[in-house]
Structure 1
Amino acid sequence: MNNISIMLVEPQSAGNIGSVARAMGNTGFSNLVLINPVEYKNNEAYSMACNACGTLLQAKVFPNIKDAIKDSCLVVGTTRRKGRERYPVLTLHEASPNILTAAKKNNVSILFGREDKGLKNEEIKLCDLLVEIPTHKNYPSLNLSHAVFLVCYEVFKTALPAGPSIKLAPWEDMEGMYIHLEKTLKKLGYGEKGGAHLLKTIMKSFKRLFGRTGLMQKEVNMVRGICTQIEERVVK
């Protein structure tokens, strides 16, 4: 995240600036840029920043957007409104991989507009990429710090390494387990007296259940072990 800057355009609340610093800290971002901000080095901002006061105090301040983005190779604008000047607009999920790819070797700026009016059309034209955060139509406006957190979190989440791969049991062993499971159910009385259709339905449900997640070999062995224990007790 070292090459990604979070830029607030004319933020109007010191508390919001502090909250943004905290949201950035939660998601691993540290480069805060303020463009023509209100006075923010005060108790209101510090109290909202909590343990992210370092990000707040190290924020870079510029008088205008062009000066702030001059070293950026990708400028991302956030917008709620759409129109001819604001097209195309990507979702956060779509844009995050592009942001991370560019940030590997380049500076990336993500712009957030004013609390009351957002980014102006002439500011939107400076952006290479536009993103939106879907919200409910009856109340579409987000608090500035909430918007920053959602964007930062999506990029942070996309950057997380994939979890360790799990070696699943081979198909033959899964089929053997299903055969064993069906045999055990028959010993419990399923399928008797015209209940063959019920047994088939149950087995289909088990296959869908286990198929959604897959089973490791030890889990297959566990299921078969349970079946064996049931069979022994039924015989007794």
Structure 2
Amino acid sequence: MTLIQHFGSAANLNIHLHCLVPDGVYHMQDGVPAFHGVRSPTAEQLQTLLDQIIQRIMKALTRHGALIEEEGMTFLADMEADTALAPLQSAACTYRIALGPRAGQKVLMLKTLSTQSTQQPQSSQAYCANAHGFSLHASVRCAMNQRGKLEHLCRYIIRPAIAEERLARNKDGQVVLMLKTPYRDGTTHIVMSPLEFMQRLAALVPRPRRNLIRFHGVLAPNAKLRFEIIPGNKQNKSRELCTVRNKFS
């Protein structure tokens, strides 16, 4: 299961993917699907996987006209963008203000912690890979009996863009957003006017009729084993199967 997220902790436009992947495969055994676990990936395997992901992303962007390859060089194409959302999205990517008297400036950041207090020891980079500005993080794992941890992980990857408990208004009527995790320079909050905050929210709204949750492999809508492994009784499975067939007919 892949969930497409458009946002970062500072309500900035930051498109990334969260994937929930079974660490094994299903195989029919005596007419019943049996799960076979696999070994943990090695650093070389993760790096190879990341290289394949990068190649496919670059090919997809080139196929859709977002990138142009000429003489061994790759550069961004001049695509026609939505004239209303393009400046908002561009500003949201760079932590800047799109419209208003402070257009082009960066949003106000409050540093309430010292740099030393935010420095943490380097964590282990096991099951992580980085290349060409892309990163792959695969160190979070839930065992079969850790249902609470699995629920916590699912809630995390499907969380909304803004948490109300991190929002407040100061005495001047400005919107104060507390960061989920302080930056290394000690920044803990960003301050925006109501109009600037609305610009950020508009940039984070996904395009209409775009599914943000995708199912793959054995969990795909038309997978043969899907209704043999998902929870629920036969009646619910049959009803869901009819719904899926009607959707794709």
Per residue, is there more helix in 1 or in 2? 1
Per residue, is there more strand in 1 or in 2? 2
TM-score w.r.t. length of structure 1 = 0.20
Greater C-alpha Rg: 1
TM-score w.r.t. length of structure 2 = 0.20
Tell me which of the two structures has the higher relative contact order, counting C-alpha pairs closer than 8 angstroms and 6 or more residues apart: 2
